[in-house]
Amino acid sequence: MDSPFACLTLPARLDSMQAFRDFVHVGAESAGLAAPETDWLDLVLEEILVNIARYAYQPGTGDAEVRYAVEQPGQLRVEISDAGRVFNPLASDPPALGGPLAERPIGGLGVFLVKNLVGSLTYRREQDRNTLSFTFPAPKDGG
């Protein structure tokens, strides 16, 4: 049985973040999720939406769309999309996490965090849109 997606489209800007957060929290609540899981969900949303706001439409502007559906109790399916340039964040190399402080690169940690916090993360490009789809929270490893 397919769950219908709830959907919100707003300008891809940092000042849309709070509205996107509030929107997804409604879904999280109906899935039975609470803090601290909702804080981790905020982090996932922020990392993806910041990338869209900073890079997808540069130097122009555009929208971001966030959709969610409660897949089962305790689990959300979330999809975040934009109509900006073709970009698959999952194809980027993982950041260098070793080495001394002076050599630690400052970027690349956002996508890394997302990959660690969600399940079934996929990217697709269809109808001129980039879409990241994932389940939240990530499935627990056995034990």
Cβ-based nearer residue to another protein, 47 or 65: 47
Cβ-based nearer residue to another protein, 14 or 26: 14
Instruction: Identify the DSSP state of 52.
Output: I
Residues 90, 106: Cα–Cα separation, whole Å: 18
CB 130 within 8 A of CB 81: yes
CB 31 within 8 A of CB 76: yes
Residues 50, 17: Cα–Cα separation, whole Å: 9
Cβ-based nearer residue to another protein, 103 or 126: 103
What are the residues binding another protein (CB under 8 A)?
14-15, 17, 36, 39-40, 42-43, 46-47, 50, 53, 95, 97-98, 100-102, 104, 106-107, 109-110, 112-113, 116
Helix (H), strand (E) at residue 109: helix 109-117
Encoded tokens for 82: 């934009």
Task: Tell me the CA end-to-end span of the chain in Å, nearest whole number.
Answer: 30
Q: How far is the CB of 143 from another protein (least distance, A)?
A: 18
Helix (H), strand (E) at residue 133: strand 129-136
Q: How far is the CB of 84 from another protein (least distance, A)?
A: 17
Q: How far is the CB of 1 from another protein (least distance, A)?
A: 34
Q: How far is the CB of 141 from another protein (least distance, A)?
A: 14
Cβ-based nearer residue to another protein, 47 or 70: 47
Q: How far is the CB of 51 from another protein (least distance, A)?
A: 10
Cβ-based nearer residue to another protein, 94 or 143: 94
